[in-house]
Structure 1
Amino acid sequence: MAETPLAGALKNAIGHYMTAVAEKLLAEGTPVSSVSTWGRYDDDEGREKHHNDVEGSLNLNDSFVRRFLPDAEAGLHWSGTSGWCLWSMSKGRASAGGSFYFYDGARWLGAGLIPDPDRVAAFLSAVQLDPHSAGSDDRPFYRQPLEDLSGLCERLQVHRRVDYGNPSYELRFNEARCGAYYDRTARALTSGADDIVNVPVRRGELEALLHLLEFAEGSSHKPVRLFADYLAGDIAQRRGEGGSVNEHRRALTYAIEVKERKGQAERRQHKDDDGE
């Protein structure tokens, strides 16, 4: 069945809302790996699979989830009838392949159907402190399934970026994620924490790290690719070369240039604002 205009509009609007929340979390240092949406209200099989209404999800890195739920899989999920929740499922249950209702054990934010990204970020912060008591296990209902979908789509439009030229939320999320890690890398390299540390590492682990940097170099946007390239080169040239830790610092040099350019841009912006 071909996607209807409303179904496509819902998917896009939900995707931009998911991305708006992801942007807030990424800015706070949360490793959001992807966003997903479901807007096919007109697909009977899909409605049964996706709990009879439209939905969205934020997927978090497994290493991040293990910090507060070491024995479970979890993620942030948005229901078109009930708002945000943290879903979780024990790894033993997942591997056993038993029956599982998606919302079993979910913790609900309960702050309305479309709360601001700041409110969702605060909920995740509470989850990290105590995932078993954050929010509530009582699922709220703010609308009935399939009720006034055009109105819901309109309400979600507030989270579109009016200054964003491309209508694709996927591209917007990719740019946000790449930009967040670009900024984090630049800040880490220019933080002043420049003492030399001895980290025991196996040769195979070092090779694996270089492979992952090579992967990042080929899969991210250009500024991140440069950091991956320079870091991989610095590490590779230091192997087996005594005293070379202060000689191969191309990534740091680039980070300093990035910081200087950003500072110049901010000063120009302040000057323009003062002149208005």
Structure 2
Amino acid sequence: MASETEPQMSAELSRRAGHYAAAVAECLLAAGLPVTIQSCGPWHDGDGEDLDVEAGISFTQAFQDQHGGGDCGLHWTGTSGWCIYTAEGPDRHPSGSHWPGAGLLPQPELVAEFVDAFTLDPAGSGSGEQPSYRREGQDFTLLLDALAPYLPARPFLFEDPQTRFADLHRRAYDNRVRQALSSPASTPLTHLHLRQGELTA
């Protein structure tokens, strides 16, 4: 990240961006959207030098199939905020991006609403013009402060964003199973043959 930051700051920016992405992923999971992967890290130039920070959230193949079958996901950069991108072909070359225009760090609920709007009307959601809220490689201390509210309340449990996301993912699907098992008595009975190992699982 150029001369303004040391490797420790680069790592801390990546960690905080990851926790922000995990907070967004939590809202998406709560809305029933098929989030699969959350990643974060430094944003490199062609020579491998750290320039800024970015994070990403991917959707399942089923979600991608509904929107053309190519790669599709959410991407956040420390300069332009969130966008939904779509990519086609074997090289997954980006073919379109939709920017919500909601600022650099919109509330996670707003990001989930933007994804919901995209699922209903891909062509009409957001803008194709990439905004710029911050200069690349500048004001890292301010960005760290802005990301601080998204750090976990219990950092000793979820210091790593990936660990936090894995726990969110597990709890979301656990809740889905519990809701299905506690459905109204009027729900028709379904007979299903299971092996003992499958039942245990």
TM-score bucket of the superposed structures, by smaller chain? 0.7 to 0.9
Q: Which structure has greater helix proportion? A: 1
Of structures 1 and 2, the larger Rg is shown by: 1
Q: 2:32 aligns with which of 29, 34, 59?
A: 29
- Residue of structure 1 equivalent to 2:3: none
- How far did 1:110 drift? 0.8
1:195 aligns to 2:181 (yes or no): no
1:158 aligns to 2:130 (yes or no): no
- How far did 1:39 drift? 2.4
Between the two proteins, what is the percent identity of the paired residues?
A: 33
TM-score computed with the length of structure 1 as normaliser: 0.63
Residues 76-130 of structure 1, C-alpha deviation per residue, up to 9 Å, x if partnerless?
A: 110111111011012xxx22x49x4x4x521101100000001100100100001
> Across the two proteins, how many residue pairs are aligned to each other?
194
- How far did 1:131 drift? 1.1
Correspondence 1:76-115 to 2 at 5 A: 76-90=74-88, 94-95=89-90, 97=91, 100=93, 102=94, 104-115=95-106
SS at structure 2 position matched to 1:105: strand
Q: CA RMSD in A?
A: 2.7
User: Cα distance 1:15–1:8, how it changes in 2: closer, same or farther (>3 A)?
Assistant: same
Q: 1:147 aligns with which of 117, 128, 138?
A: 138
User: Cα distance 1:156–1:25, how it changes in 2: closer, same or farther (>3 A)?
Assistant: same
Q: Which structure has greater strand proportion? A: 2
Structure 1 gap ranges (5+): 200-205, 211-228, 235-250, 252-276
Structure 2 gap ranges (5+): 1-5
Tell me how far apart the structure 1 counterparts of residues 46 and 130 of structure 2 sit (CA, whole Å): 24
TM-score computed with the length of structure 2 as normaliser: 0.85
- How far did 1:190 drift? 1.1
- How far did 1:26 drift? 0.8
Residues 193-227 of structure 1, C-alpha deviation per residue, up to 9 Å, x if partnerless?
A: 6413489xxxxxx99xx8xxxxxxxxxxxxxxxxx
Higher normalized contact order (CA 8 Å, seq sep 6+, divided by chain length): 2
Tell me how far apart the structure 2 counterparts of residues 124 and 40 of structure 1 sit (CA, whole Å): 24
Does the Cα contact within 8 Å between 1:47 and 1:53 map onto a contact in 2? Answer: no
Does the Cα contact within 8 Å between 2:24 and 2:112 map onto a contact in 1? Answer: yes
